[in-house]
Structure 1
């Protein structure tokens, strides 16, 4: 028997992991356009994945490759979960086929054909499992052609075994105001021009239809609203033209679905209409609905707000008036809360743009992040600041401000602003896992802010709900002040007389010259256990360090000196400064401790 020698033939798949590669290509393109620091890592991951010869079934399995960190593996697993929930399953191909050419050539050919047929049949069966519910035959064929190296075969729908009912075909429809919903309506709006639209312009158009940001991922996530685009393309609702500088249009199916969504949305009231066009809202106590559906009453803080005469930066001026109906209530947003007004896709700007009836402006605020003014409809230069101010903190920023000392300094400046109603608006940061301090510590700090400082604390779960809260506050203040005659002057607030916005902002300058008393307060605030109220109570009796030194010199012994400040009252004479704080201050300011 003649021995036949020959080369070993190995069949390999050209793209063993087409889905993972396509998702990484999207991420890499987005990171490259934004010049993100993640771009090199994504490029390395994409390169290593493209060279890997075997199929990977989960994102966790990708951890063995270069460039895949924990976040990226979790992203692929999350994307895969969404993909599988739509009844599209990754094929589980058999091992690469190896055929030894030394065998009989005729038997080799027949065995090879049979093996390939079995492989293709198994792969097709895996890919087409319940696929008729979500994708067209052409989409499945194109996907299979990228997964199989053998000659493409026409896929056949799976045959359901006797006694089993086939699942009903589901009609895909994105949720109201979701990313997919916004993209479809944005493309429908653009379709009037008759031209494809690129990513940047589409985001600008679609953002107003969406609750989430198209450019900023959710906390602890890599997803943005734009992540829904790949799903729309897969479903055949959106047609993508080009690769690098891609443009997008609606398919005929997508056009019909977009029109259907637009028609349905006419019967769903927008948040803007609920807040600003509700004719049933009458003058009533301002009640603010928070995220969990409960109600939070915003009451007036009657504590006297101590201010210093050094804050009077302008000469006395006559009292001005605004009659009912002659002014508008306008929300003022600190410009530093945005990434720049020139960026049309800025998340903060986009959230407030969802309320076309909300009168708001962006200015530089020297204290606080949001406030409200009453502006004369005729003379726009006449502006009185209303006695409400909001400091916004995200949970991670709150933790950072506590660690670096900004927390107490900001509360002190808010107290010194002279405005009666101070609201601390706190946003949750995802599940609050990476916020620098334990959640219990932050909640205790907020409780102290509420009880000791007399601030109002309102917690939301996102920037979207924070913007909604401020829009509701604007509506409530408009109702509260619409029948009132407002008085104002270029001085500190006095009773019902409000300061002008120009005076308020100038008086709140962070780097303005401080009086000796203000400097003494700031020094006391650096000590453990000294709150703003305690520092104000001490400086109300001892306005300068010199006066406190003299008081200590008059004490007969250390015990008397340590208790000198213990019984000073603060917070409407309901609490004492306390012996521990009194002792710490005595030890700091007595001369003997420095010898």
Structure 2
């Protein structure tokens, strides 16, 4: 039996582009992956070449949207290569017979036209989209059902909680049932139990246009009927006359984050397709200056001149400016991160996807970092986002030997503004007896240290999270100006106070540091001060966490001060209770009698015996 002849794709360029979109959707764990997968298989099995992307409409799994994307991509390709853009053929010109003969169908094929979704004015979907859009302007966090109803009810004529009193009360649905329609249409994303809701990118576009309609109608057009177009290519709709429409309800303090009123949208708010409620999206109002050359012109920021007592401590400097487009975003992954001892390349292989520029490197601190690399000089700037990865068994081991507190202490001093702990819930059966300690450690990391904790089921979840974070940061910093502190200004002994001073004097500018300076600041031994050594000495005593060590160092800044404090006590009992009585400002768990006596034993007992 002769071997089956393989079909050669007649449009390899189109196939390559669809393959890129498919891989991008897979990396983002998007629902559009299956759609692109069907389009890819259909194009791959088609041996007939197309003169224009619109002819691909005849293939199964390829609709007007993909054809439009192919046409746009082809237009960009032709402009880049300097070749002529093929003309779009007439309707039905690309149709071919089902037997694969390639003959054109004489009867024109009627194309389906999908009308954009336009909810009825003051209906359930209208109010839900408007409520979610209103919340997205102040906070990117998802909302619960009760919070959405509170915001949506003023914009809807039907109740979200009580069924309509019609047909003898036989109807049991409310306006909230419209949420299922929005989820099915891909306008709203639902996750978790109880469900939390937020707008998708498509839903954000529709809701933004609806918000413009609501502002026009409810802002100053009361008592008038007006035709408006909700979608730029959609039909005209008529808004009915409303006697006194209720004003939109502003988000409450419990569900909203304060935001300057002068800004309707922020370039920093990025909504992802999957699990974006678990990504800490930072909303900042950063002033964007024009591009600045090497020689600082008049548009460059003025040199910083600390005033008062700080003038003798903090030097003046002119920051290095990286304008938008002059740098690329890269993910630094520690070379020691591996799935198993035998499969050390798993993370590297699975992170080589579109949108992720991966670099493997031995890191001083954190398991993953994001940097901006200058295209011209190769200079690397740390963006302030770092991830520490922990398996359950690794977390328990680090709690036992004290590495967990030591790592958190170094992360707090590293200068990273956004530290995220990714906890993989694998190997859970091996540590079930330590579940209480694990939960306490996670809660302390969130509440006391202020770090963000993301729990994933396994290593695959960590890889997906890193890919989504890389995509999000690329979009955030795409149009931003980076302000970098020169290396010669940074002093490890005063860097923490220096960053705090800059934040207080210029809160609208986020100053970054180079990767070289960051490595020096986070080295375990290169930049240790007397205070750092003192804190480490205190933390070697069992029962003293980083927070308690800092509290003791606040009252007794040096070992000499601690010894002098003990010598001032009249009796040995007073010495044993001194730390407990002096360091009583610690918030959660105060230093008790037993721990205070243990500290005295370490520092003074041997000396008392010698005397």
Alignment TM-score, normalising by the size of structure 2: 0.45
Bigger radius of gyration among the two = 1
Alignment TM-score, normalising by the size of structure 1: 0.46
